[in-house]
Chain A
Amino acid sequence: MNTIQSLSQLLAAGQASSVELCQDYLARIQTRNPELNAFITVDPERTLAEARAADARRAAGQAGMLTGVPIAHKDIFCAEGWLTTCGSKMLSNFVSPYDAHVIEQFKAAGMPCLGKTNMDEFAMGSSNETSFYGPVKNPWDTSRVPGGSSGGSAACVAGGLAPAATGTDTGGSIRQPAALTGITGLKPTYGVVSRYGMIAFASSLDQGGPMARTAEDCALLLNVMAGFDPRDSTSLERAKEDYTRELTPTPGARPLAGLKIGLPREFFAEGMSADTARAVEDAIAQLKGLGAETVEVGLPNSRLSVAAYYVLAPAEASSNLSRFDGVRYGYRTPEYEDLTDMYEKTRAEGFGAEVKRRIMIGTYVLSHGYYDAYYIQAQRLRRLIADDFTEAFKSCDVILGPTAPSTAFKLGEKADDPVQMYLSDIYTIAVNLAGLPGMSLPCGFDGQGLPIGMQLIGNYFSEAKMLGVAHQYQLATDWHQHRPALSEEKGVRS
């Protein structure tokens, strides 16, 4: 299994160059991407130029730990010289003239970009079916969705097309696809990763994070991504942390001794498929075996999180997406009578159905006479939901539950039923509303051989602790090492 960590060792030992690694991944992208559709843009020359620079840096003795290790970036991150579409026809011609903060950080670390990954249009979706560039297929079963909105990033990591990828999570868009594709993904505390250059969906909820094979890899990647950025006013000014610091706690048979895991009764009450319930129960037993205790906690308002989210996120989105007007960049309708006609046609043609639905919802809830009943009320709920977590964390260190109610569903299965689709994120949304860190990691398979994910939720800034727990679980289990048949690693050095 190629982890970031193992590739870094290969490079350090001189057993592979960055150019060789990138060539291997690019070759696999060429072979497998036509079926998976995980990438929107691949630019081998650009990737290899970055790889050569990384090798030169290593030769000069200036390599960091991850220098030369390739990574794929969700197409929501602006990257200079790269087509940056956000999965939309609206930006189908937009080559970014600048780098997002996250992209800058990875460039500074010397990690070549393998390509820009497919995603739900403007990150609005839970199946990657709303992309203008077509749906992404789940490597475990290509008749199924990989989840969304970071579906391309999830599928490329699960399918072995990249060792790791960036994602963004507004209501579960890192964790739910990680669960549906059997990988590990982390959404940090709101404000830990700069949003500068990350195309906004819902500004108060959006947060970038890593998607990889293991918790350890996520910790290494978060070390690169996180940090204060004065260009994002919501970026938190805190001292740099080492997110790997809790990956090697006291050795022994009970490494998690003293850890209190909170189990929200609402998460286990209903809605979860039987296979998911069993896998999560097994994981709890396993964690207890490692020394953890469990306590029941209550998140009474979490049932309202989907409702609150589908007021607040569309409200912010309706305003954030106003800049896509055909005036300065992006798509503009070819023929129009006057200004209003240009706006109407550009936006009617440039946006897909789900994006338009959310713009309309958002415009409605912000309208005069409805604002108090919807937006203000949803903000109140948001506060209550956050307060529930604060209360719960008085009696536990991390919270555990399922990531998604079911495993990967069939392409088209929920595409015409937005409410069913929205419920895919029922366990993840509350975490965004509260601004807390959360992660998903593999914990089993269902009867059809599809991966199941469990979710860990930490208190504010407890990423390191959460990663430590996940790491111990991954040392004791091998769910994260299972690979879909599709992605045998021929040709990759390991």
Chain B
Amino acid sequence: MQWETVIGLEVHTQLTTQSKIFSGASIAFGAAPNTQACQVDLALPGVLPVLNKGAVERAIKFGLAIGARLNRTNVFARKNYFYPDLPKGYQISQFELPIVEGGSIDIQVGEGDKAETKTIRLTRAHLEEDAGKSLHEDFHGMTGIDLNRAGTPLLEIVSEPDMRSAKEAVAYAKALHTLVTWIGTCDGNMQEGSFRVDANVSVRPVGQKEFGTRREIKNLNSFRFLEQAINYEVRWQIEQIEDGHKIQQATVLFDPDTGETRMMRSKEDAHDYRYFPDPDLLPVKLDEAWIDQVRAGLPELPGAMRERFQRDYGLTAYDAASLTSQREMARFFMDTVALAGDGQAKTVANWLQGEVSASLNRAEKDVSAIPITPGQLAGLVKRIADGTLSNKLAKQVFEAMWNEGGEPDAIIEAKGLKQMSDSGEIERIIDEVMAANAKSVEEFRSGKEKAFNALVGQVMKASRGKANPAQVNDLLRAKLNGGA
């Protein structure tokens, strides 16, 4: 039987506010346990929550960025359950009336020139507070509680079950990651837990309309684990069904060491959260002036920028998508093109996706850590365009720029890397080479095309790589065909 995978994601994005969603305590990462938990976070008797407007503003920003409906009145509710790192015994979240509903995000499916755009619909995004952390190591037979994280503002972003493969799920998660970091609502740091993914996965026979029973994989904190976990889970579910078992609704955890998912709790153990509107907080009202103000502060979004790059610079969909996967990269591209000229856009794009990305990967750094400036890259590209540098020489200049710094012209001068474009000089070398390689000349003239390449190689070698290869080709061919 042929199976179809159905995936929906719930992503917890930590918002970039200074303080917590309902208290004034800091949310900075890495502080000593319980040093960033004030009396509100500790849920002392009598304390009350006060909503951080900055969190609401970020949710509005996200809603606008995905073209969603913003609920002008939205409501905080209490989600009741007992856990040691949940100090109030309930989490303040949004249930019936979330701040954001609907909207969509486009992803690129497939690679290279076969890339296609697919639209993933979003169900909702709601504001909520994070819980604290339970620490089981270092406490023999006991559990330590760190409430620094308790009350950290989160925007939980829930998609429709629109993805059909682990690759699509990863593409969506990456597109979402790009968007939230792009608009600055989340720092996207997955190691620190700022962007955590839960995947709802089910399978069904191809052609069947109804969804299969889903299992939810909790707390995936890398794109690689997301892909591995879904692939394992899909295989597992198909095996179960083909072995005659039914899938039971459950929450599972992914173990990166074994690459397997294992059950955390079944539907029978599911909590009744007894949601009800939090009487300590008034319904949140969004007025049009506030929404307009947030809209005015939105940067050009990756989707719009991608289209603009294709339209204005003639880039392929793949190049445009790749350059807009991070705001810093897009900004670097635009700044470089502005200095090098629009005609150089394609060359700039190639350099950014080629040498620049490769160098960053080797150094395990991200775009914000590029050691060269757009001005330097533009200078390099100009020297390629005006024939001063061959691609090969340009790579040498780039390496020097990257490792030692300096402007391209200065490096070309200092290292003598200028391309030889003086035809008299090149002709002189060709004459020498032809004289010294009479056998090859003879072979070419008797019809062995291969011999031509050997001669070109000798000329390039004699020029120590600096001769303009196109000129060498033309001049050599002319001389060979023109007799002596």
Contact = CB atoms under 8 A, between A and B. Distances in A.
A100 B274 CA distance: 29
Contact of B45 (A94, A231, A232, A318): A94
Given A233-B280, A368-B272, A322 B44 contact: no
A91 B45 contact: yes
Contacts of A96: 44-46
Nearest to A375: B276
A323 B89 contact: yes
Contacts of B45: 78, 84, 86, 91, 94, 96, 199-200, 323-324
Given A195-B48, A197-B47, A322 B276 contact: no
Interface string A91-102: 100101110100
Given A98-B44, A319-B78, A371-B276, A233 B49 contact: yes
Contact of B90 (A195, A231, A232, A319): A319
Interface in A185-204: 195-200, 202-204
Contacts of A197: 46-47
B64 interface: no
A196 B84 contact: no
Contacts of B49: 233
Given A322-B88, A368-B272, A231 B48 contact: yes
B43 interface: yes
B370 interface: no
A96 B46 CA distance: 10
Given A98-B39, A323-B43, A328-B87, A196 B276 contact: no
Nearest to B272: A368
Interface in B258-278: 272, 274-276
Interface of chain A, main secondary structure = loop
A315 B276 contact: yes
B29 interface: no
B109 interface: no
B276 A233 contact: no
Contacts of B84: 325, 327, 339
Given A368-B272, A371-B276, A322 B80 contact: yes
A321 B282 CA distance: 20
Given A197-B46, A230-B50, A325-B82, A366 B282 contact: no
Given A233-B50, A234-B282, A328-B87, A97 B44 contact: yes
A216 interface: no
Interface in B14-70: 39, 42-51
A210 B129 CA distance: 36
A244 interface: no
B279 interface: yes
A316 interface: yes
Nearest to B88: A323
A100 to B, nearest CB: 6
Nearest to A342: B84
Interface string B280-310: 1110000000000000000000000000000
B281 to A, nearest CB: 5
A357 to B, nearest CB: 17
A461 interface: no
B411 interface: no
Interface in B130-147: 143, 145
A100 B44 CA distance: 11
Interface in A289-321: 315-316, 318-319, 321
A325 B84 CA distance: 8
A196 B89 contact: no
A330 to B, nearest CB: 8
A367 interface: yes
B272 A367 contact: yes
Contacts of B87: 323, 327-328
Contact of A322 (B42, B90, B143, B282): B90
Given A84-B45, A100-B46, A233-B49, A203 B88 contact: no
Contacts of B279: 202-204, 234, 316
Interface in B350-392: none
Contacts of A203: 279-280
Contact of B89 (A200, A202, A315, A325): A325
A304 B48 CA distance: 30
A351 to B, nearest CB: 13
Contact of A319 (B48, B50, B143, B274): B274
Nearest to A122: B45
B222 to A, nearest CB: 30
Interface string A204-228: 1000000000000000000000000
Interface string A365-398: 0111001000100000000000000000000000
Contact of A366 (B50, B274, B281): B274
A363 interface: yes
Given A232-B48, A366-B274, A327 B280 contact: no
Given A199-B45, A230-B50, A232-B48, A319 B276 contact: yes
Contacts of A230: 50
Contacts of B82: 322, 325, 343
A315 to B, nearest CB: 6
A329 interface: yes
Interface in B166-181: none
Contact of A233 (B42, B43, B51): B51
Contacts of B44: 78, 96-98, 329
Contacts of A318: 80, 274
A327 B145 contact: yes
A230 B282 CA distance: 13
A35 B43 CA distance: 36
Contacts of B42: 328-329
A325 B43 CA distance: 11
Nearest to A204: B279
Interface in B196-212: none
A196 B80 contact: no
Nearest to B143: A339
Contacts of A100: 46
Nearest to B38: A98
A78 B280 contact: no
A314 to B, nearest CB: 12
Contacts of A371: 274, 276
Contacts of B145: 327-328
A192 B2 CA distance: 66
Nearest to B80: A319
Contacts of A233: 48-51, 280-282
Nearest to A98: B39
Contacts of B276: 315, 319, 366, 371, 375
Contact of A198 (B46, B89, B282): B46
A90 to B, nearest CB: 9
A324 B276 CA distance: 19
Nearest to B42: A328
Contacts of B80: 318-319, 322, 366
A339 B145 CA distance: 13
Contacts of A204: 279
Interface string A147-168: 0000000000000000000000
12 contacts: A232-B48, A233-B49, A233-B280, A315-B276, A319-B276, A321-B89, A322-B80, A322-B88, A323-B43, A328-B87, A329-B42, A367-B274
Given A77-B46, A94-B45, A329-B42, 7 more contacts: A78-B44, A97-B39, A199-B45, A323-B45, A325-B84, A328-B87, A328-B145
The 9 A-B pairs of least Cβ separation, nearest first, read A322-B89, A366-B274, A204-B279, A203-B279, A197-B46, A199-B45, A323-B43, A78-B46, A199-B46
